[in-house]
């Protein structure tokens, strides 16, 4: 490793990449592995390894192993005896998933002292903790930049698309049919071509090509460029309208968002292939992680053997033998090495001949065979994107959501039935709907947007006795309303706000061109047998109050439900909403007429909703930090309000 470091230093000097202290700045490739397979969800291996490889030489610069187990110590502990004198290889007590970051931090911190080198740029495969730990714990961490491995980014894109295709419960059949295996492979391949074509080029062009890859794969070549496509301008097989009408476009662009957010990290078009090569050699020594090698130092020895072979090549044992015994190896070992050399030469010639004879076939990036998922699950890299680029992505998201009046009318008709209709679930994706308007309006500016954003974007719907009661009795309340008023109520779909299509509303029913209905069911009042007026007077109903002057029950004008109704009236372009409260058969139906208030919408509601969507919700849709177990990003105005609150 010292020899490899000297070579890296010479190359850095020849390129002029040396600082004032005569320390070379180099790019390295890093990766980590464990002694047992995780299969994407079981992170409890007792040993782990991480490597740092010089990019220019392709050789190991640092190799670290962590062990959580020692059989001698474990046996002594089980017998409640002190362990006998022994060499203990246990050097780690924290979580398994933290091993890689700790080893790499150790390697980075020793680089200056050992080699007079700084690892100022590294190529990684997407472990979230590594970069942040290096930034925090390495002496020169503020200088370190990260480059994403292109292969891993494309694999994650492929997995996201396959997840959509395989989601039989949440995604409609029409969308899953559009996302065939061939289309998924084409989407990944086109994205790969875009990264390759724009290597060391312009970030804006790369993002433009990545966005256009969706239209390209689905037959719309209007915006294609010649270096990416030979059908520029052709729309004869365009099925993008079908992609939009089914809502598939939201799913595909959702999968593409993570790739777009990392576009600035893909400009170097680097891979961690050298580190993967180390892991593949190690797999041969540890029998594909199928052997228990963590009792003592067996896993460590096999890593050292792998390091020797990796740095010195196939004949590593010749030099090792000579250094250990001060003589050349015997005839048998020499003959074995010669035979192996002949086998490799013959194999190489056969491969060259085969590649010349066979036709050049365009290979798919990912084969049809099912691969074992050995990624780190949700612990993938945090995406760092500057405010200007993020604003551009937010604008693109809003443009994609925009619709014509005809499409909006069609959405209303096709989404009736709401959550019982998959078209409703699809149309609601990436939109802020009226049921959440109140929470947005009433949120203090100094309160982090994290929990609210996560609850809005979460696909989970909590089921309680109260929600089940409301679901069952909503239809009962509507029937009673029809009997009492003589008005007919039709089911409603999703209404989309024409001025800003990222806002939507879905009332409980539509009466006519000017009137809608919103129903609430009081579970506690109904099951307790109380009178509604009694419960309201005792303040047991949080959204209702008793008006002593008019001697009636009213919806509180500062409650979330009031803002929900005003949002529904504005987006549905109605003038009146009948607010209906059902509290069991022992009470009369409470019906309150609420009129549209344009002043509240224009002066209070819309500015806050627009600001929240652009600054809080849309950035999270793009960055998708929640899937990485990271807190949603608070915009500057929230951080400023929090700092101001701390001072007071």
Does the pLDDT value for residue 631 go beyond 70? Answer: yes
Residues 176 and 284 placed together within one structural domain of the fold:
no
CA distances from 106 to 51, 121, 126, 134, 483 (A): 11, 16, 19, 9, 75
Q: What is the pTM of this model?
A: 0.69
Does the pLDDT value for residue 365 go beyond 70? Answer: no
CA distances from 550 to 72, 546, 591 (A): 83, 9, 15
**What domain count does the chain have?**
3
Residues 21 and 131 placed together within one structural domain of the fold:
yes
- Answer positive or negative: Cα dihedral of 200, 205, 210, 215: negative
45-54 average pLDDT score? 88
Residues 91 and 138 placed together within one structural domain of the fold:
yes
In a domain, 509, yes or no: yes
Confidence of residue 355 (pLDDT cuts 50, 70, 90): low
Confidence of residue 379 (pLDDT cuts 50, 70, 90): very low
Burial pattern 569-580, b for ≥16 Cβ within 10 A else e, equals: bbbbebeebbbb
Structural contact between residues 502 and 432, judged by C-beta atoms closer than 8 angstroms: yes
In a domain, 573, yes or no: yes
In a domain, 346, yes or no: no
* pLDDT tens figures, 394-440: 888 898 888 888 889 999 988 888 777 778 888 888 899 999 999 99
Percent of the chain at pLDDT exceeding 90? 23
Residues 292 and 251 placed together within one structural domain of the fold:
no
* pLDDT tens figures, 584-621: 888 889 999 999 999 999 999 999 999 999 999 998 88
Last residue of a domain, one of 265, 298, 323: 265
Would you give the end-to-end CA distance of the chain in angstroms? 56
> Could you give the strand order of the β-sheet that contains 47-54, starting from the edge strand earlier in sequence?
60-67, 47-54, 24-34, 117-124, 145-148
Residues 480 and 605 placed together within one structural domain of the fold:
yes
**What average pLDDT is seen over the chain?**
84
Cα-based torsion angle of the residue sequence 393, 396, 401, 402 in order, rounded to the nearest 10 degrees:
140
Instruction: Quote the CA–CA distance of 632 and 111 in Å, as a whole number.
Output: 34
Does the pLDDT value for residue 73 go beyond 50? Answer: yes
Instruction: Quote the CA–CA distance of 292 and 400 in Å, as a whole number.
Output: 52
Does the pLDDT value for residue 447 go beyond 50? Answer: yes
Closest by alpha carbon to 110, among 31, 22, 5, 7? 5
* pLDDT tens figures, 526-572: 888 888 888 889 888 899 998 888 788 999 999 999 999 999 999 99
Does the pLDDT value for residue 366 go beyond 70? Answer: no
Instruction: Quote the CA–CA distance of 528 and 540 in Å, as a whole number.
Output: 12
Cα-based torsion angle of the residue sequence 490, 493, 494, 496 in order, rounded to the nearest 10 degrees:
-60
State the residue for tokens 């295996």: 181
Higher-confidence residue of 376 and 435: namely: 435
Structural contact between residues 432 and 489, judged by C-beta atoms closer than 8 angstroms: no
Residues 184 and 261 placed together within one structural domain of the fold:
yes
Q: State the residue range of the domain holding 466.
A: 419-628
Percent of the chain at pLDDT exceeding 70? 92
Residues 41 and 86 placed together within one structural domain of the fold:
yes
Question: Can you name the residues that pair with 47 across neighbouring β-strands?
Answer: 67
Does the pLDDT value for residue 474 go beyond 90? Answer: no
Structure confidence at residue 614 (pLDDT)? 92
In a domain, 361, yes or no: no
Confidence of residue 363 (pLDDT cuts 50, 70, 90): very low
Burial pattern 126-156, b for ≥16 Cβ within 10 A else e, equals: bbbbbbebbeeebebbeebebbbbbbbbbbb
In a domain, 364, yes or no: no
Least reliable range by pLDDT among 271-275, 429-433, 484-488, 547-551: 547-551
Q: What is the DSSP letter of 498?
A: S
Residues 505 and 532 placed together within one structural domain of the fold:
yes
In a domain, 360, yes or no: no
- Answer positive or negative: Cα dihedral of 306, 309, 315, 321: negative
* pLDDT tens figures, 328-343: 777 787 787 778 777 8
* pLDDT tens figures, 177-215: 888 889 999 999 999 999 988 888 888 888 889 988 999
Residues 570 and 441 placed together within one structural domain of the fold:
yes
CA distances from 431 to 239, 248, 495, 503, 614 (A): 24, 15, 11, 6, 11
In a domain, 46, yes or no: yes
Residue 434 zone, left/alpha/beta (φ > 0; ψ -120 to 50; rest): alpha
Structure confidence at residue 299 (pLDDT)? 84
Structural contact between residues 182 and 364, judged by C-beta atoms closer than 8 angstroms: no
Structure confidence at residue 47 (pLDDT)? 84
- Answer positive or negative: Cα dihedral of 137, 139, 145, 148: negative
Residues 545 and 495 placed together within one structural domain of the fold:
yes
Structural contact between residues 274 and 31, judged by C-beta atoms closer than 8 angstroms: no
Q: What is the CATH number of the domain that holds 127?
A: 3.30.420.10
148-176 average pLDDT score? 85
Residues 439 and 469 placed together within one structural domain of the fold:
yes
Higher-confidence residue of 421 and 491: namely: 491
Instruction: Quote the CA–CA distance of 416 and 506 in Å, as a whole number.
Output: 9
In a domain, 365, yes or no: no
Confidence of residue 248 (pLDDT cuts 50, 70, 90): confident
Q: What is the CATH number of the domain that holds 485?
A: 3.90.320.10
Higher-confidence residue of 391 and 347: namely: 391
State the residue for tokens 């020895």: 301
Which alpha helices (DSSP H) does 247-296 contain, by range? 248-261, 273-285
Task: With residue 504 as reference, give the H or E element that holds it.
Answer: strand 503-505
Instruction: Quote the CA–CA distance of 108 and 131 in Å, as a whole number.
Output: 11
Closest by alpha carbon to 613, among 468, 481, 363, 443? 443
Does the pLDDT value for residue 357 go beyond 80? Answer: no
487-515 average pLDDT score? 92
Residues 205 and 296 placed together within one structural domain of the fold:
no
């Amino acid at each position: 490793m010292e020899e490899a470091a000297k070579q890296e230093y010479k190359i850095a000097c020849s390129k002029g990449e040396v600082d004032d202290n005569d320390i070379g700045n180099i790019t390295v490739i890093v990766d980590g592995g464990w002694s047992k397979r995780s299969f994407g969800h079981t992170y409890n291996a007792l040993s782990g390894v991480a490597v740092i490889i010089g990019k220019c030489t392709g050789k190991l610069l640092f190799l670290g192993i962590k062990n959580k187990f020692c059989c001698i110590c474990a046996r002594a502990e089980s017998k409640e005896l002190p362990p006998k004198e022994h060499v203990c290889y246990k050097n780690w007590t924290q979580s398994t998933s933290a091993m890689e970051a700790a080893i790499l931090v150790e390697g980075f911190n020793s680089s200056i002292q050992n080699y007079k080198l700084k690892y100022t740029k590294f190529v990684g495969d997407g472990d979230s903790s590594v970069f942040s730990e290096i930034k925090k714990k390495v002496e020169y961490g503020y200088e370190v930049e990260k480059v994403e491995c292109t292969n891993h980014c494309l694999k994650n894109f492929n997995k996201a698309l396959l997840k959509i295709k395989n989601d039989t419960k949440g995604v409609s059949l029409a969308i899953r049919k559009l996302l065939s295996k061939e289309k998924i492979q084409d989407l990944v391949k086109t994205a790969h071509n875009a990264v390759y074509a724009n290597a060391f080029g312009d970030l804006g062009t790369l993002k433009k090509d990545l966005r256009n890859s969706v239209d390209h794969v689905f037959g719309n070549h209007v915006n294609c460029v010649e270096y990416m496509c030979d059908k520029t301008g052709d729309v004869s097989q365009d099925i993008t309208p079908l992609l939009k009408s089914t809502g598939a476009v939201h799913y595909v662009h959702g999968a593409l968002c993570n790739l777009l957010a990392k576009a600035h990290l893909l400009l170097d078009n680097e891979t961690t292939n050298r580190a993967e090569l180390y892991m593949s050699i190690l797999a041969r020594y540890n029998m594909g992680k199928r052997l228990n090698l963590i009792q003592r130092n067996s896993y460590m020895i096999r890593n050292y053997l792998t390091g020797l072979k990796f740095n010195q090549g196939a004949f590593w044992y010749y030099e090792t033998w000579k250094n250990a015994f001060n003589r050349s190896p015997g005839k048998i070992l020499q003959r074995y090495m010669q035979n192996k050399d002949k086998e490799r030469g013959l194999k190489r010639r056969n491969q060259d001949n085969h590649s010349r004879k066979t036709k050049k076939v365009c290979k798919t990036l990912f084969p049809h065979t099912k691969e074992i998922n050995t990624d780190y699950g949700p612990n993938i890299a945090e995406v760092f994107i500057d405010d200007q680029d993020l604003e551009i992505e937010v604008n693109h998201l809003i443009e994609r959501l925009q619709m014509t009046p005809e499409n909006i009318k069609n959405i209303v008709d096709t989404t009736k039935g709401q959550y019982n209709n998959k078209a409703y679930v699809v149309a609601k994706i990436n939109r802020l709907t009226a049921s959440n308007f109140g929470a947005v309006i009433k949120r203090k500016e100094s309160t982090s947007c994290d929990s609210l954003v996560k609850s809005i974007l979460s696909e989970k719907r909590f089921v309680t006795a109260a929600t089940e009661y409301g679901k069952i009795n909503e239809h009962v309340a509507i029937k009673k309303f029809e009997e009492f008023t003589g008005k007919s109520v039709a089911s409603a779909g999703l209404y989309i706000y024409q001025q800003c299509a990222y806002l939507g509303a879905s009332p409980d029913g539509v009466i006519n061109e000017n009137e809608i209905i919103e129903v609430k069911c009081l579970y506690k009042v109904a099951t307790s047998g109380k009178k509604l007026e009694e419960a309201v007077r005792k303040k047991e109903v949080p959204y209702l109050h008793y008006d002593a002057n008019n001697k009636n029950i009213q919806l509180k004008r500062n409650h979330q439900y009031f803002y929900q109704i005003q949002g529904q009236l504005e987006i549905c372009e109605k003038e009146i909403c009948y607010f209906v409260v059902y509290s069991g058969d022992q009470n009369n139906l409470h019906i309150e007429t609420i009129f549209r208030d344009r002043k509240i919408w224009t002066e209070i509601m819309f500015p806050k909703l627009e600001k929240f969507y652009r600054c809080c919700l849309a950035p999270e849709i793009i960055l998708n930090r929640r899937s990485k177990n990271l807190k949603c990003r608070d915009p500057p105005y929230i951080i400023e309000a929090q700092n101001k609150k701390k001072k007071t």
